[in-house]
Amino acid sequence: MRGWLCLCFATAAFAADPTTGKKLVFADDFNADKLDETKWIVGGARETISIAKFGKESVLRLGLKMGQDMIQTNYVATRGKFSQQFGYFEASVRLNATEGHSGTFRIVTDDEKTVPSINVSFGSSGKDRVSPWARATLESGQQDFRPEKPLPPMKAGDISKKFHTYGILWTEKGFTWFIDGKPVHKLERKEYVRPMHIMINHRILEEDRAKLNLKSLPDDIDIDWVKVWK
């Protein structure tokens, strides 16, 4: 089901800095020698997740485990460590360049099995595309909210060579997605009020595998920092 409303960029209400009037309540810049597991849990293949260098910057790197079928989901999440109701969630991320695998920055209702719950995401499919979307679990079953039209591709090679900020503003009225501080889409839904946590993953799904070119790997996901305001 299509449940998206496009934002009007001339609307001043949505042009404001989403952090205005809020306090920074969670942050990680990944400058330690290893992942701070007082803040994060690790899922999938632990050996694919490490603190690495991108130029002079220290980053959290999410890779892929090479194997026979390659189907996998490797992630870090703040589930059980940090969650909150409403606020602005943002990460500086360098995403994958090629198809067949994807990097995703998302916020997720703590207990996804209890309805209503929602997973609100930015996902990359390679080829310079980033997609905002959401998947809800309701009494009637799952419901997807996707754009009427995909966002246009970014500058060639840009999302995999540079870091961009991907932000999700969650209020009592719904959700607004931001790229580099600019709103790109909005979903007006008021029923999601339970605390949400952060998850960042790098995965290959069964339906993606046909597009995966092993010669293009490694094509890792790097996270420079994560911040949350309340």
Q: Is the dihedral of CA 153, 44, 136, 223 positive or negative?
A: negative
What single-letter amino acid sits at 152?
A: P
Q: How confident is the model over 183-201, as pLDDT tens digits?
A: 999 999 999 999 999 999 9
Q: What is the arithmetic mean of pLDDT over 170-193?
A: 96
pLDDT bin (cut points 50, 70, 90) of residue 11 is very low
User: Residue ranges of the alpha helices (H) in the chain?
Assistant: 158-161
Question: Does residue 10 surpass a pLDDT of 50?
Answer: no
Q: What is the mean pLDDT of residues 28-34?
A: 96
Interatomic CA distance for residues 187 and 21, integer angstroms: 22
Tokens encoding 96: 């994958």
Model confidence at 38, pLDDT cuts 50, 70, 90, reads very high
CA distance 26 to 38: 12
In which band, very low, low, confident or very high, does the pLDDT at 6 lie, cut at 50, 70 and 90?
A: very low
Query: Is 60 exceeded by the pLDDT of residue 206?
Result: yes
Could you tell me the CA-to-CA distances from 202 to 36, 117, 158, 193, 227 in Å, in that order?
19, 22, 18, 27, 19
Mean pLDDT, range 22-33, rounded to an integer = 97
Residue 214 phi/psi, 5° resolution?
-60, -25
What domains, with CATH codes, occur in the chain? 21-229 (2.60.120.200)
Distance CA 28, CA 80 (A): 16
Share of the chain above pLDDT 90, in %: 84
**What pLDDT is stored for residue 81 in this prediction?**
98
Query: Across-strand partners of 183?
Result: 178
pLDDT tens profile 220-229: 999 999 999 9
Radius of gyration of the chain (CA): 17
Query: What is the per-residue pLDDT across 57-76, written as a single tens digit (0 to 9) for each?
Result: 899 999 999 988 899 999 99
Share above pLDDT 70 across residues of the chain, in percent, rounded to a whole number: 93
Q: CA-based diameter of the chain, in Å? A: 51
Amino acid making up residue 18: P
pLDDT value, residue 164: 97
